[in-house]
């Protein structure tokens, strides 16, 4: 499980997180939503130990990330938004690296890596350097690496970036099955439809604060909107989309004139 | 071994994995690559070139060893060279060996302890250290063994002395990085480190001024006796080991070794607390966009005026990109600024051998004393071309392909802007030096005209050989092809030869001078015609692969 209490993060004078609290139970797929700069990625980076928190606490599998970072890191799999990989390694070597860092048995690694790569149609490219991979292929490697040690907690930050429709479908099915198996899953994305369809619960962050927490239906109901998209716009205080589009068009016309 | 490492809080299995990873990264992605990299270049040649360069310096030092009167003096000189060269090497060329900012983004969320990470970094560093130390100091150690009748204690003491000095400088550099990270914000540290690298490079170049003087035949043997003040000189610390080997050690020798051992221990202890995944995080911040946004105002306005001077859109695009690169890329900035002190150093080198001659008055007499200076001047456009091609933001070059800009026009504008913005001011600076020493401004102008023409011709040739878009190639340490590397040294050499020929044959009378300038103008015109054809042909084949390499 994941538990966050009063999480704060300051970058100089800017307060990116102002006391974020929520929990994700085993078997739950939580969608973390928010506009750009809301604090989603900062929250995930603190959970993964990539950033230290300025205040508050975060637990994964009952380990505190600040005091037990190694135990926490052993227990989760993560697909980072940055998509950073060692470009000079081959796809197979990267998976081997991650497996080795997690002390995974060689036999188990070979079997799992082979199956994952086969599932993602990457088996033929396993010995090619990652620097020659497309964005989608890199993302497949990252997803495979996050799952290779079969962790109890999964953290996905925009995992479907650059992934084709077929792979996305496989991934979504996989996510559902993992949730059913009792894994704790945190899913960050900008794509509201995917989150709405996949996640059992949604947390919306805006300006470093949790502004909504509940099932997609409950959030829509609270705001009196039929769709999550409109509810999201209302909660995050976004300007009217039609109005904005009109302003853009006027600017274009103005240039022509 | 695993148990010992475990006592230090190191995971032996992970350490092995991280060391293998570092080796793979370095051998495949950089100068150490043993095969073709993504650009299709052969980094193995670059590696051999680099090792050969340091071996050459090592042989030079070995010759110097024969001029030393005592083993202590020899090792004092050798350790000074090792300190300077290895320090510069790590700071300028191989800082990725200790920094590796990618580690934060990839290893930051893996279950790797800070201790394991530190051991992997230091282990990787020691490997490089060994490789380059052998090149720099190996010939000298062999020379010393030969000088002392193949004495095994001398060989062991010399090797140990050099190795410990090398370890010390490496630990000090890593520690310095860690320390500064705690004191300064990343963008300031980035600037400071660039200037530090620049300072060290200058120190190395300057050392070439001093060392040849030791080799002059009329000089006596170099003898340094150990003194109390040497206790504060890092090269002396482990040089004192030498006298232990030849059984001439005094209390002072033993005391001289102590600061080195103590400092190494302290640095190692300090590193345990500083070099960690956290350290990698801070290092990653250095490589990200750390530049502080400038306030719009007068400077922005003056830049607008600069751009309005150029009519063609291509020239404006290149100028805007170049100015931005100059503002935000410290390496680019220093390579431009760094040229002026280099000119002064080489000029000073020439002056040590004689006065600066006016070739229009005295012909080629005394010109050979300033060959290095002229060579550097002729090399300037080639150095700048390299800098104008590569950028950390090379992926943004898609914009050249997705907009209706003419690629050939952009390449030509890059060449012209390079000449106007960088070679121009540098040549103006040289003109002032010429004028001051020639005491004849007309002569200074005419001589400068010759050099400017030769400079431009070389730039034309190098652009015919390798036409490239501005800042569209990723920064790689082994980014140049063998042919380019060859031309890099050959072209200025040919230019220098031509200059000698011109001074001998064409500087006699106004008539020959007129013929010379007509010939140079014709050459430029023919090459220009050919440049346009070649660049248009290459531009038609350029494509954007969109991959970060």
- Given CB atoms, is B24 within the 8 Å cutoff of chain A? yes
Give dist(CA A95, CA B110) in Å, integer. 13
Which residues, in sequence order, are bridge partners of residue A203?
Answer: A32, A213
Helix (H) or strand (E) holding A210: strand A209-214
Query: A56 lies in a domain?
Result: yes
CA pair distance A138, A140, nearest whole angstrom: 5
User: Looking at beta carbons, which residues of chain A come within 8 Å of B547?
Assistant: 131-132
Closest of B121, B130, B131 to residue B15, by C-alpha: B121
Q: Are B440 and B357 in contact (CB under 8 A)?
A: no
Nearest to A48 among B24, B25, B109 (CB): B109
Q: How far apart are the C-alpha atoms of A122 and B432, rounded to whole Å?
A: 64
Q: How far apart are CA B219 and CA B215, in angstroms?
A: 7
> Using CB atoms and an 8 Å cut-off, which of residues 100-139 of chain A contact chain B?
100-103, 129, 131-132
Q: Does B188 touch chain A (CB under 8 A)?
A: no
Is some CB atom of chain A closer than 8 A to the CB atom of B111? Answer: yes
Helix (H, G, I), strand (E, B) or coil at B392: coil
Pairing verdict, β A2-11 and A184-188: unpaired
Q: Which residues of chain B have pLDDT under 50?
A: 31-43, 287-298, 478-479, 548-549
The angle at the Cα of A96, spanning A95 to A99, to the nearest 5 degrees, equals: 85
CA distances to A94, A146, B112, B429 from A98, rounded to whole Å, are 6, 9, 11, 55
Compute how many other C-beta atoms are within 10 angstroms of the C-beta atom of residue A41: 21
- Closest-CA residue of A relative to B14 is A101
Q: Tens of pLDDT along A20-31?
A: 999 999 999 999
With an 8 Å Cβ cutoff, are B547 and A131 in contact?
yes
**CA-based nearest distance A29→chain B, Å:** 21
Q: Does the residue A28 lie in any domain? A: yes
In this structure, are residues A53 and A46 in contact, taking their beta carbons and an 8 Å threshold?
A: yes
Q: Quick check: B549 and A131 CB within 8 A? A: yes
The b-or-e profile of B40-65 (16+ CB within 10 A means b, else e) is ebbbbebbeebbeebbebbebbbebb
DSSP state of A188: E
Nearest CA among B352, B392, B386 for reference residue B372: B352
Q: Give the whole-angstrom CA distance, residue B242 versus residue B250.
A: 11
Beta strands in B27-168 (DSSP E): none
Residues 267-286 of B with CB under 8 A from A: 277-278, 281
Count of CB contacts below 8 A, A vs B?
69
> Looking at beta carbons, which residues of chain A come within 8 Å of B113?
70
User: For residue B403, what is the enclosing H or E element?
Assistant: none
Hey, which bits of B293-386 come out as E strands?
none
The ipTM assigned to this model is 0.85
- Structurally, chain A folds into a number of domains equal to 1
Residues 32-51 of A with CB under 8 A from B: 48-51
Nearest to B109 among A49, A71, A93 (CB): A49
In chain B, the residue whose alpha carbon lies closest to the alpha carbon of A50 is B108
Q: Out of A98, A103, A131, whose CB is closest to B38?
A: A131
Is A172 a member of any domain? yes
Question: Is pLDDT at A5 greater than 70 in this prediction?
Answer: yes
pLDDT score of B38: 41
Residue B364 to residue B354: CA distance in whole angstroms: 13
Let me know how long chain A is. 257
Between CA A198 and CA A76 the distance in angstroms is: 20
Is B25 an 8 Å CB contact of chain A? yes
Tell me the pLDDT tens digit for each residue of A160-193.
888 888 888 888 898 999 999 999 999 998 888 8
Helix intervals (H) in A120-257: 135-147, 165-180, 192-198, 216-223, 228-235, 241-256
Alpha helices, DSSP H only, in B148-185? 152-183
For residue B14, the distance in angstroms to the closest alpha carbon of chain A comes to 6
Q: Position of tokens 């000298």? A: B140
Residue A188 lies in a domain: yes
Instruction: Please check whether residue A27 lies inside any domain of the structure.
Output: yes
Placement of tokens 């999201």 in the chain: A232
Task: Give the one of B24, B107, B112 whose C-beta lies nearest to A88's C-beta.
Answer: B24
Contacts of A85 in chain B (CB under 8 A): 106
Nearest residue to B447 (alpha-carbon basis) of B427, B461, B422, B423: B427
The whole-angstrom separation of Cα B105 and Cα B280 is: 9
- Asked if A80 is an interface residue toward chain B (Cβ–Cβ < 8 A), one would say yes
pLDDT of residue B412: 92
**Closest C-alpha among B136, B124, B143 to residue B162:** B136
Write down the residue that tokens 């030769």 correspond to: B454
- Across the beta sheet with A153-157, the strand order is A76-79, A153-157, A184-188, A29-33, A201-206, A209-214
A63 — pLDDT class (breaks 50, 70, 90)? very high
Whose CA is closest to A31, among A257, A166, A249, A215?
A215
Whole-angstrom Cα distance, residue B44 to residue B46? 5
Whether A66 is in a domain gets the answer yes
Q: Do A89 and B548 touch (CB under 8 A)?
A: no
Check A80 against B21: CB less than 8 A apart.
no
Q: What is residue B294's predicted lDDT score, i.e. its pLDDT?
A: 45
Q: What is the pLDDT of residue B318?
A: 86
* Chain A residue at shortest CA distance from B109: A48
User: Can you give the residue range of the structural domain that contains A63?
Assistant: 2-86+152-214
A100 belongs to a structural domain: no
Tell me, what's the pLDDT at B41?
Answer: 45
For B339, the token pair is 């040229």
What was the pLDDT predicted at B35? 37
Contact B15, B119 (CB under 8 A): yes
pTM as predicted:
0.72
**Rounded distance between C-alpha atoms, residue B100 and residue B280, angstroms:** 7
Which of A28, A21, A16 is CA-nearest to residue A4? A21
Is the minimum CB–CB distance between A97 and chain B shorter than 8 Å?
Answer: yes
Q: Nearest CB to A101: which of B17, B105, B277?
A: B17
The pLDDT of residue B310 is: 64
The pLDDT of residue A250 is above 90:
no
Q: Looking at the domain assignment, is residue A22 inside a domain?
A: yes
Q: Which of A73, A84, A88 sits opposite B29 (nearest CB)?
A: A88
CA B510 – CA B515 distance, rounded (Å): 9
- pLDDT tens, position by position, A195-243: 888 899 999 999 999 999 999 888 888 888 777 888 888 888 766 777 8
Structure tokens at B136: 């720099």
Residue B476 burial (10 A CB sphere; 0-12, 13-18, 19+): buried
Q: Point out the residue among B25, B106, B109 whose CB comes nearest to the CB of A73.
A: B109
Of the candidates B223, B503, B234, the one whose C-alpha atom is nearest the C-alpha of residue B361 is B503
* CATH code for the domain in which residue A36 is found: 3.40.50.300
Q: Which helix (H) or strand (E) holds B187?
A: helix B186-214
């Amino acid at each position: 499980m994941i538990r966050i209490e009063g999480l704060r993060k300051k970058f100089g004078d800017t307060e990116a997180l102002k006391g974020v609290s929520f929990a994700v139970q085993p078997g739950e797929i939580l969608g973390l939503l928010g506009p750009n700069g809301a604090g989603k990625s900062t929250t995930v980076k603190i959970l993964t130990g990539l950033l230290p928190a300025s205040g508050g606490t975060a637990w994964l599998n009952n380990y505190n990330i600040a005091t037990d970072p190694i135990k926490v890191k052993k227990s989760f799999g993560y697909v980072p938004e940055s998509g950073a990989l060692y470009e000079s390694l081959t796809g197979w070597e990267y998976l081997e690296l991650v497996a080795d860092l997690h002390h995974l048995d060689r036999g188990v690694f070979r079997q799992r890596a082979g199956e994952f790569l086969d599932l993602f149609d990457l088996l033929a490219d396993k010995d090619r350097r990652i620097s020659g991979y497309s964005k989608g292929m890199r993302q497949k490697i990252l997803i495979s690496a996050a799952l290779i040690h079969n962790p109890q907690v999964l953290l996905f930050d925009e995992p479907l970036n650059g992934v084709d429709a077929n792979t996305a479908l496989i991934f979504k099915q996989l996510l559902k099955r993992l949730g059913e198996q009792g894994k704790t899953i945190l899913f960050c994305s900008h794509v509201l439809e995917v989150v709405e369809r996949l996640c059992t619960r949604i947390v919306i962050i805006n300006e470093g604060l949790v502004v909504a927490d509940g099932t997609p239906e409950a959030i829509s109901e609270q705001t009196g909107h039929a769709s999550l998209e409109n509810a999201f716009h209302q909660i995050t205080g976004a300007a009217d989309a039609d109005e904005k589009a009109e302003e853009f068009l006027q600017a274009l016309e103005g240039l022509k004139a | 071994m695993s148990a010992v490492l475990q006592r230090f809080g190191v995971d032996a299995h992970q350490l092995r994995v991280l060391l293998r990873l570092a080796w793979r990264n370095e051998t495949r992605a950089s100068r150490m690559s043993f095969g073709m990299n993504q650009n299709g270049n052969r980094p193995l040649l670059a590696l051999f070139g680099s090792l050969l360069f340091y071996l050459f310096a090592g042989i030079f030092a070995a010759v110097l060893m024969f001029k030393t009167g005592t083993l202590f003096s020899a090792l004092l000189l050798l350790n000074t060279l090792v300190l300077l060269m290895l320090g510069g090497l790590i700071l300028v060329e191989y800082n990725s060996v200790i920094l590796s900012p990618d580690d934060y983004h990839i290893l930051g969320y893996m279950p790797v302890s800070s201790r394991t990470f530190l051991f992997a970094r230091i282990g990787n560093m020691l490997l490089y250290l060994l490789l380059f130390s052998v090149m720099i100091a190996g010939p000298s150690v062999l020379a010393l063994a030969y000088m002392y009748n193949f004495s095994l204690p001398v060989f062991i003491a010399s090797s140990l002395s050099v190795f410990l000095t090398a370890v010390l400088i490496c630990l000090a550099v890593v520690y310095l990085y860690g320390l500064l990270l705690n004191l300064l914000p990343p963008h300031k540290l980035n600037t400071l480190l660039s200037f530090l690298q620049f300072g060290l490079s200058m120190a190395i170049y300057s050392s070439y001024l001093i060392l040849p003087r030791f080799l002059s035949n009329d000089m006596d043997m170099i003898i340094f006796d150990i003194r109390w003040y040497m206790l504060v000189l890092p090269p002396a610390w482990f040089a004192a080991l030498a006298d232990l080997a030849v059984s001439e050690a005094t209390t002072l020798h033993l005391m001289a070794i102590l600061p080195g051992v103590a400092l190494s221990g302290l640095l190692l202890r300090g590193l345990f607390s500083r070099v960690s995944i956290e350290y990698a995080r801070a290092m990653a911040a250095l490589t990200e966009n750390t530049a502080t946004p400038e306030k719009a105002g007068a400077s922005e306005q003056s830049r607008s005026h600069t751009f309005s001077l150029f009519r063609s859109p291509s020239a404006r695009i290149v100028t805007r990109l170049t100015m931005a690169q100059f503002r935000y890329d410290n390496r680019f900035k220093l390579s431009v600024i760094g040229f002026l002190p280099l000119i002064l150093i080489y000029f000073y080198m020439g002056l040590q051998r004689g006065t600066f001659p006016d070739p229009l008055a005295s012909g080629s007499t005394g010109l050979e004393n300033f060959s290095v200076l002229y060579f550097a001047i002729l090399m300037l456009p080639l150095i700048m071309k390299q800098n104008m091609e590569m950028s950390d933001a090379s992926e943004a070059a898609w914009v050249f392909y997705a907009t209706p800009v003419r690629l050939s026009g952009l390449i030509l504008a890059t060449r012209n802007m390079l000449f106007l913005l960088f070679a121009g001011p540098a040549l103006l600076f040289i003109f002032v030096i010429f004028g001051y020493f020639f005491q004849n401004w007309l002569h200074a102008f005419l001589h400068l005209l010759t050099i400017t023409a030769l400079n431009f011709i070389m730039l034309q040739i190098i652009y015919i050989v390798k036409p490239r878009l501005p800042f569209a190639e990723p920064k790689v340490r082994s980014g140049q092809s063998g042919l380019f590397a060859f031309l890099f040294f050959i072209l200025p050499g040919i230019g220098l030869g031509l200059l000698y020929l011109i001074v001998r044959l064409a500087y006699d009378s106004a008539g020959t001078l007129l013929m010379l300038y007509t010939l140079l103008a014709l050459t430029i015109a023919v090459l220009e015609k050919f440049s346009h054809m070649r660049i248009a042909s290459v531009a038609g084949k350029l494509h954007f692969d969109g991959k970060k390499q």
